[in-house]
Amino acid sequence: MNPRINIDLNKLKHNTKLLCDKCKENGIQIAAVTKAFCGNPDIAKAYIDCGVTYLADSRIENLKKLNSLPTEKMLLRLPMISNAKEVVRYADISLNSEIETIIALNDAAKSLDKIHKVIIMIDLGDLREGFFDNKNLKEALSKLKKLKNIKIVGVGSNLTCYGGVIPSEANLGKLVQYSETIENILNTKLEIISGGNSSSIYLLEENRMPQKINNLRLGESILLGRESAYGKHIKNTFGDVFQLVAEVIEVKHKPTVPIGEIGMDAFGNTPEFEDKGIRKRAILAVGRQDFGDNDIKPVEESIEIIGASSDHLIIDITKCDSDYKVGDEITFNIAYGSLLSLMTSEYIYKNITH
């Protein structure tokens, strides 16, 4: 069925094992992130088969889909108060930075007769989520002590998301200091010191990860074999676990410059064209409604993408050796943004192979 995304679970398992081993050598457990594939349980099972410790997602809708899997679930996005009951029901652990929310989770946990685990988020400078000043944190901790259905199990931080700040010995060292402060104030030992996402992998490779960091929340590095601090390929991993396949619905020779007065394209932009004469072009049945503004890259290097509207992708195949015909398939490699969009599109068939 087309268009489709091919998902190679053998390659995914290879990547998961490799990163699990690399982390284990450094005393680190993995919370494997499922949001880029919308919490598909068949894909998440591949993570579990390879020994990850937690499944983690930013959306409760996805954790619901994973409910029957035996692994502990972690909610990555700060919970909404209006959703506290669902959070307690479907997440064993959530990441938090607001005392009001933790109080709501405590109430929900009480009514469901559960203990909900919490990781306290610290903002180390990337300026997305997390406690930012010590006074605010200490006030929250003093209120937390009274909550009977909440267990503070860890501390965490997120970097390289909003601000692009790269994890380092210095900022993750600060996280370790925070963990000690919290342990002292709450008089408990924290089980989880969570040192970030796929942008922290490079510290492992350079042997610079602070000792006490014992957890990473990894999505992109496992799924695409790419660390996200510098965008480098991780050695011996597959970068093509996921590939987009789309079908040719027209092949014709056409000019490169449109004929007539140029107004706006489908997205309100005024396009410009370089005259390269008559070219051989193909239209594929896939479009921006599926991959948004994100990059996709033809596996065959002689193919050039020349434009896309909501449901059509136009490519230049003049330089291709193969004589593409209507009904043929073209394969693309994808990056994180296009993976998210394609997995979210209900028009893309999800083709999982073992």
Q: Which stretches of the chain bind ligand PLP, using CB under 6 A? A: 33, 35, 58, 76, 158, 197-198, 217-221, 228
Q: How far is the CB of 227 from ligand PLP (least distance, A)?
A: 9
Q: What residue number has its CB nearest to ligand PLP? A: 219
Q: Of 16 and 197, which has the nearer Cβ to ligand PLP?
A: 197
Burial 65-74 (b: 16+ CB within 10 A, else e): bbeebebebb
Cα–Cα distance, 122 to 172 (Å, whole number): 10
Q: What DSSP string runs through 96-122?
A: E--HHHHHHHHHHHHHTT--EEEEEEB
Torsion angle of C-alpha atoms 84, 218, 290, 348, degrees rounded to 10? -90
Considering the complex, state which of residue 129 and residue 247 has its C-beta at the smaller distance from ligand PLP: 129
* CB of 56 vs ligand PLP, minimal distance in Å: 7
Cβ within 8 Å of residue 312, ≥6 positions away? 283, 284, 285, 286, 287
Q: How far is the CB of 341 from ligand PLP (least distance, A)?
A: 15
Task: State both tokens at 100.
Answer: 């009001």
Nearer to ligand PLP, 79 or 219 (CB): 219
Rounded (5°) CA angle 216-220-223: 110
Active site residue 35: yes
Q: Which of 13, 35, 73, 117 is the catalytic position?
A: 35
Q: How far is the CB of 223 from ligand PLP (least distance, A)?
A: 7
Residue 194 or 345 with smaller CB distance to ligand PLP: 194
Distance separating alpha carbons of residues 203 and 138, to the nearest angstrom: 30
Residues annotated catalytic, as ranges: 35
